[in-house]
Amino acid sequence: METKNNTRPTSCKASLFTDEPQKQEATMWRNSRNLRDIYSKLSRCVERRSMSNLPESTVYGGPKSKSPWKRVTLRHLEAKYQTNQPITMVTAYDYPSGAHVDRAGIDICLVGDSVGMVVHGHDTTLPVTMEDMLLHCKAVARGADRPLLVGDLPFGSYEQSTQQAVASATRMLKEGGMDAVKMEGGGGSRVQAAKAISEAGIAVMGHVGLTPQAISVLGGFRPQGRNVDSALQVLDHALALQSAGCFSIVLECVPSPIAAAVTSALKIPTIGIGAGPFCSGQVLVYHDLLGMMQHPHFVQVTPKFSKQYASLGNVINDALSQFRDEVISKAFPSPVHTPYRIGEEQQQAFAEALEKRGLHGAAEAVSAAAVKDATAGEPTIKTPLD
């Protein structure tokens, strides 16, 4: 008897099929392959974090933010600015701080070169390198999905030429996962750098007033704009950066009337830090506002304008001291925190194996620990026995 071959042909071309059902099957198979190819390409595309200044229709994959707020873009900041809604910005330096800033609904998360002082313990921001910044930017980007991510260009990464500035800014986006960069100063070469970065398609935030990277010229961390010449210079630098294409300007440590004048003269948002209440928004350093550090060195460099919304440093110190005391007194770990058990049969077999190896003390330790576990009671969280 003749057997019928039901094996699917290796080609999907409809011309190989003579009846309509087979043509339909071939079409469905071809479409499914096309869909699989498209899905594979999209999967590769969304492995990286979508830049928040891209169109909202951009495909985004990966873990979804639990924050109820939508991703912040430059359009969102512009809408806030036009409707006089204050803009919020906080620094972050690692995955946990990035996640906290994200969950709090902060608009802009700045990975600042202040990391050199509050994380690495330097007296200034000058020692921070590009590699340092990229490391911290990557960590923050993994924790903060929703806010606009801005990375500080560190000292020495953009001063030599516009080519160096564009190259450093490009690395911030490609390697660091940032949406924009921030750079300090509003002099001629800084303005040219900001213009070159902006023309390269990278969003730039300016920074005038007290610029910590220029403390050797300023004579230390000194407020600016306290006389006419200095105030006009702050204004001129801000206007020049606006003309260069900056989307926002940080005003640091200037009197509030000066900040008010600059904010009024500009057509882009100002973000104040120690600049009074008349800016378009405000920024504080993560460690400062949380009161995380009690070290004498940190107390010396904590800015006068910073408000502490918590005293986490005291909480941390108390917790560490309590841990130390409980370890010394052997109160930790208690049965509650000793969740792993071994079956009685396996325990006895293990003790016997130790005895055969001549490890009598180890075998006795097994038995003593088992008795103590039995008398201590069952752990709150049990784990299944193998």
Residues with a known catalytic role:
252
Contact in structure between 91 and 134 (CB atoms under 8 Å): no
Residues sharing a CB contact under 8 Å with residue 257, sequence separation 6 or more, in sequence order: 276
Q: CA-CA distance, 250 to 207, in Å (whole number)?
A: 4
Measured CA to CA, the distance from residue 106 to residue 208 in angstroms comes to 22
CB 170 within 8 A of CB 197: no
Please say whether the beta carbons of 339 and 382 come within 8 A: yes
CA nearest neighbour of 317 among 346, 293, 300: 293
